[in-house]
């Protein structure tokens, strides 16, 4: 046999060879299955190689596949494991066309060349029918899925016994699901609810009345969530008219109050007694069978406004002036001003409409300006009769960019600023409790967008258009601007999305506007203009407010650097989402700072004498003082371990390096 014939024989014959290190099907010890070569393999004795991608970058070999040049992905397999439903998401399995670990062994020259097996020749234009191919494909996938799932379950059990790399995550946004993170595998375990565990088909209803920012109400809510029971929560801060029903049913307005169907059971104390006595199962069995009777507290009606609106007393006069005044574009002080009218024309229009003297008409015009029906075109005064020009609020150039503005301005009688501030905080507390994780670091924005609480918040935001902010106390004003900033950030994420690039950040922080008290506010204006008393933002040379801007009158009397730890902009590196009350805003800001620093906003390298601080302090360093002052100031908000490390560095008066952590701009989803 010459050399050419020998090479042809070598290409047609493959001999199996065991390799203890590389042919192991699971990349482990010799006891596991090992890869082998199939007699049908061709192309110079090359065989298929199956590799599983793992999260730690390693590759693990598997037994070979039967088909060639084919990628197979077994997406999921569900099994019953320890009375829990386990969804196993397996990694993708890839089949290579060339095996570098099992080379073919050349055959002996004296052996005859075997005849190839007889296989039917199939033309390219022909194809096997689905009925012929589906049984074999289905059987193959089923066998591979079963073997792979069994291997995963064995591996899960072995890691649990050996205390291996098994991480259990409790998703507080969905307390019915627990996640097991294994390198290369994600296992989702859906726990059975209390009713499912007892085999009960509950047709009744569990209802309870709550308020926002109530600790006992939170405990009741968590109890039913942990049990996996469906409940109806009636928040009387979201639905104020339901408070009257609560008093009629219980004789008190105290919350929480729990109802099993139409029967009033009590509050948190009664629920704890029920849990400790083991009678919870009895109560659940009473709710099996008949549906919830009509006497039970009804489910809140969504999408209906139950708050009455009252037209402004000056609205009829304003509507007449909008139609009769000569509103036109004018060149004033070398600037083209659009849609303006003179103060003289306004006074004469009021005199004609109300049939009153000039002096009373001027008083009426000033009252209209105080209610923000119109403003001076350059903000020089509220109203003065003479050669001054004014513009209606709906004609302001910024009005179309305000996201709390609808087709027209809110002409209802302005509600008291303290009422709106309290209403806004209660609605946002309700949103926080329902759609944020327990640590408030993750927010369900899609759920908020569909919620009744958010719909009612938008109504409150519209009521802010002509509110008189000057009537608020300093603490009320501080709490309102903090809450408004965080609420606007939620609204901005829902409306325009998280900022990803430079242009997105500009739109998010500077161009997303609210009309508040007759003037536009962005996230940048609230932070740098109002709360920071008109200081420049990072990497900017211009102050938010020009000289004489009336929004400066609402700035706090003194800058409080703690504000930076109470503001959430929807990113992962920002402080946790929270809202504030007027009575406790100072103490709540201190708690926010402690929580932020203890969560990783400061880190230490004692060998290099380096302190790593949050980048927020670098951006706003003028609010905190010099670097040494910053470290002394930060120490008040650290835990005992952190403060001890920092005190050790400060004790010897040696040089301390201060570096700043990277800021994660991804969303806090």
Instruction: Name all contacts of 546-553 with Cβ < 8 Å and 24+ positions apart.
Output: 548/379, 548/380, 549/379, 550/379, 550/519, 551/519, 551/521, 551/525, 553/470
So what's the architecture of 186-287 in CATH? 3-Layer(aba) Sandwich (3.40)
| Res 226: pLDDT | 87
CB 32 within 8 A of CB 41: no
204 has pLDDT over 80: yes
Banded model confidence at residue 194, pLDDT cuts 50, 70, 90:
low
Banded model confidence at residue 195, pLDDT cuts 50, 70, 90:
low
Q: Where are the domains of the chain?
A: 186-287, 314-397, 417-589, 590-660
User: 605 has which bridge partners?
Assistant: 610
Banded model confidence at residue 230, pLDDT cuts 50, 70, 90:
confident
| Res 446: pLDDT | 95
Our CA angle for 540, 470, 593, nearest 5°, is 55
| Res 201: pLDDT | 65
| Res 189: pLDDT | 60
CB 527 within 8 A of CB 533: no
Q: Does domain 314-397 have CATH number 1.10.10.10?
A: yes
Helix (H) or strand (E) holding 226: helix 215-227
In angstroms, the CA 307 to CA 489 distance is: 26
Give the mean model confidence (pLDDT) for residues 50-65. 43
| Res 74: pLDDT | 38
174 has pLDDT over 80: no
Give the mean model confidence (pLDDT) for residues 525-533. 97
51 has pLDDT over 50: no
CB 325 within 8 A of CB 307: no
In three-state secondary structure terms, 263 is strand
User: 24 has which bridge partners?
Assistant: 34
Distance of CA 41 to CAs 11, 13, 38, 98, 119, Å?
10, 9, 5, 10, 15
Higher-pLDDT residue of 216 and 167 is: 216
Give pTM, 2 decimals: 0.72
CB 640 within 8 A of CB 655: no
In angstroms, the CA 95 to CA 73 distance is: 10
Structure tokens at 392: 């209606």
| Res 305: pLDDT | 77
């Amino acid at each position: 046999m010459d050399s050419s014939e020998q090479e042809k024989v070598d290409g047609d014959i493959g001999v199996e060879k065991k390799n203890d290190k590389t042919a192991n099907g699971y990349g482990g010890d010799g006891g596991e299955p090992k890869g082998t070569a199939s007699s049908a393999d061709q192309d110079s004795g090359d065989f298929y190689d199956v590799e599983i991608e793992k999260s730690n970058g390693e590759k693990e070999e598997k037994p070979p596949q039967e088909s060639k040049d084919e990628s197979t992905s077994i997406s999921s397999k569900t099994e019953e494991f320890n009375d829990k439903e386990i969804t196993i998401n397996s990694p993708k399995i890839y089949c290579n066309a060339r095996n570098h670990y099992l080379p073919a062994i050349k055959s002996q020259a004296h052996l005859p060349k075997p005849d190839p097996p007889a296989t039917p020749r199939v033309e390219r234009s022909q194809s096997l029918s689905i009925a012929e191919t589906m049984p074999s494909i289905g059987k193959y996938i089923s066998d591979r899925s079963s073997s792979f799932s069994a291997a995963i379950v064995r591996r899960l059990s072995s890691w649990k016994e050996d205390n291996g790399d098994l991480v259990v995550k409790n998703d507080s946004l969905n307390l019915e699901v627990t996640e097991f993170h294994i390198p290369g595998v994600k296992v989702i375990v859906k726990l059975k609810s209390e009713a499912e565990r007892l085999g009960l088909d509950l047709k009744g209803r569990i209802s309870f009345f709550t308020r926002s920012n109530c600790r006992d109400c939170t405990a009741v809510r968590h109890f039913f969530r942990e049990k996996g029971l469906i409940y109806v929560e009636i928040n009387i801060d979201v639905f104020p008219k339901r408070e009257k029903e609560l008093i009629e049913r219980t004789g008190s307005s105290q919350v929480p109050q729990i109802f099993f169907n139409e029967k009033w059971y009590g509050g948190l104390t009664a629920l704890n007694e029920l849990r400790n006595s083991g009678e919870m199962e009895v109560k659940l069995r009473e709710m099996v069978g008949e549906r919830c009777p009509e006497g039970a507290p009804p489910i809140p009606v969504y999408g209906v406004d139950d708050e009455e609106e009252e037209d402004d007393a000056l609205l009829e006069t304003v509507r007449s002036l909008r139609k009769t005044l000569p509103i036109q574009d004018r060149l004033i002080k070398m600037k083209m001003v659009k849609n303006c009218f003179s103060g003289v024309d306004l006074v004469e229009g009021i005199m004609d409409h109300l049939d009153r003297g000039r002096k009373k008409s001027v008083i009426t015009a000033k009252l209209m300006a105080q209610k923000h029906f119109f403003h001076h075109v350059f903000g020089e005064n509220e109203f003065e009769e003479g050669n001054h020009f004014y513009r209606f609020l709906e004609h302001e150039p910024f009005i179309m960019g305000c996201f709390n503005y609808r087709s027209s301005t809110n002409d209802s009688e302005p509600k008291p600023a303290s009422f709106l501030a309290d209403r806004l905080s209660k609605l946002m507390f309700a949103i926080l409790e329902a759609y944020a994780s327990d640590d408030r670091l993750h927010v369900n924005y899609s759920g908020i967008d569909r919620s009744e609480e958010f719909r009612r918040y938008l109504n409150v935001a519209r009521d802010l258009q002509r509110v008189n902010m000057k009537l608020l106390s300093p603490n009320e004003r501080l709490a309102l601007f903090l809450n408004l900033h965080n609420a606007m950030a939620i609204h901005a994420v829902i409306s325009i999305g998280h900022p990803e690039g430079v242009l997105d950040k500009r739109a998010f922080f500077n161009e997303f506007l609210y009309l508040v008290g007759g003037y536009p506010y962005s996230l940048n204006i609230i932070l740098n203009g109002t709360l920071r008393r008109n200081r420049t933002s990072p990497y900017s040379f211009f102050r938010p407010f020009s000289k004489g801007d009336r929004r400066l009158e609402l700035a706090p009397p003194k800058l409080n650097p703690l504000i930076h730890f109470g503001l959430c902009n929807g990113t992962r590196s920002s402080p946790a989402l929270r809202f504030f009350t007027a009575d406790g805003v100072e103490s709540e800001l201190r708690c926010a700072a402690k929580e932020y620093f203890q969560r990783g906003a400061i880190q230490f390298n004692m060998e290099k004498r380096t302190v790593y601080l949050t980048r927020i302090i670098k951006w706003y360093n003028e609010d905190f003082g010099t670097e040494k002052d910053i470290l002394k100031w930060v120490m008040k908000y650290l835990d005992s371990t952190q403060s001890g490390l920092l005190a050790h560095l400060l004790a010897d008066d040696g040089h301390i390096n201060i570096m700043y952590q990277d800021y994660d701009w991804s969303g806090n989803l």
